[in-house]
Amino acid sequence: MARRCWALAAVLLTALTTACTAQAPAPPPGPSTVVKEWTKVGKPKSVDMGFRTKPCEALTAAERRTVGLPSAPVQATAEEPAGCTWRDQGTGAAVRVELDQLSLAQRFDHEPTGTGLSVVQIAGYPAVRAKEGTDQRGCTLRIGVSATEALAATFSSPRTGPEAVPDACALAQQVAERVIATLPEGS
């Protein structure tokens, strides 16, 4: 009988100790996504493993020549977000498209306004367009391809060029549209 009491006491003590030290589950990592009207995506795409592992294959050599970025593409390093830089070695113009770490809804608390910022549609997807630099030689597009995924397309050109680029965002948009076309449907 004494053994049974000690065994029961040990079981109760173990259960009580476990219950007292148990912690509530941690909240999910990262910012919560509240989809705003301007960030809604009608036909979501998925930044699938193809783009995540081989992003430079999103454009063929013929497409690179068509958009004026014929030089060999450069894939992002393992430490960077999945992405690729396409360039023209002759002019120095380059477009980098990468997986954005945040969706549009996560990145912007409200519809962005301000100098150089505009909300646009790219290939039917909500995007924020930002011209950069006093000479407007740079442009970044953040394109929401689903409620949880976005792409960032950045155009840059050398500051030593003879003239400002007439529309720094046009080339970034052309490349982004071609990359989006290669992404599979998502949810």
| Residues 6 or more apart in contact with residue 51 via CB below 8 angstroms | 58, 82, 99, 179, 182, 183
Counting the structural domains of the chain, the total is 1
- Decide if 177 is inside a domain: yes
Answer yes or no: is 23 within a domain: no
- Does 43 fall in a domain? yes
Q: For residue 53, what is the domain's CATH number?
A: 3.40.1000
Q: Are 134 and 176 in contact (CB under 8 A)?
A: no
Domain contains 7: no
For the chain, helix (H) and strand (E) counts, in that order, are: 5, 7
pLDDT of residue 11: 39
Q: What is the pLDDT of residues 87-124, one digit of tens each?
A: 988 888 899 999 998 899 888 867 777 667 888 999 99
DSSP per-residue letters across 73-109 = PEEPPTTSPSEEEEE-TTT--EEEEEEESS-HHHH-S
> What is the predicted pLDDT for the residue at 178?
95
Whether 3 has a pLDDT exceeding 80, the answer reads no
pLDDT at residue 21, as a whole number: 41
54 lies in some domain: yes
Closest CA to 151 of 102, 100, 104, 101: 100
- Residues 111 and 90: their CA atoms lie apart, in Å, by 38
- What are 129-180's pLDDT values in tens digits? 988 776 667 899 999 999 999 999 999 887 655 555 667 789 999 999 999 9
Specify if 134 maps to a domain: yes
Band the pLDDT of 59: cuts 50, 70, 90.
Answer: very high
pLDDT of 38 reads: 85
Residue 128 has pLDDT above 90, yes or no: yes
Would residue 154 count as lying in a domain? yes
Q: What is the pLDDT of residue 177?
A: 96
pLDDT score for 9: 42
Amino acid at residue number 85: T
Asked whether residue 49 is domain-assigned, the answer is yes
pLDDT band for position 77 (50/70/90)?
A: very high
In whole angstroms, give the CA distance from residue 109 to residue 55: 29
Q: Which residues contact 34 (CB under 8 A, 6 or more apart)?
A: 105
Domain around 139: 37-182
Residue 45 near residue 17, CB atoms below 8 Å: no
Q: List, for residues 4-54, the tens digit of each pLDDT value.
A: 444 434 433 444 444 444 444 433 334 444 557 888 899 999 998 889 999
**Angstrom distance (rounded) from CA 143 to CA 125:** 7
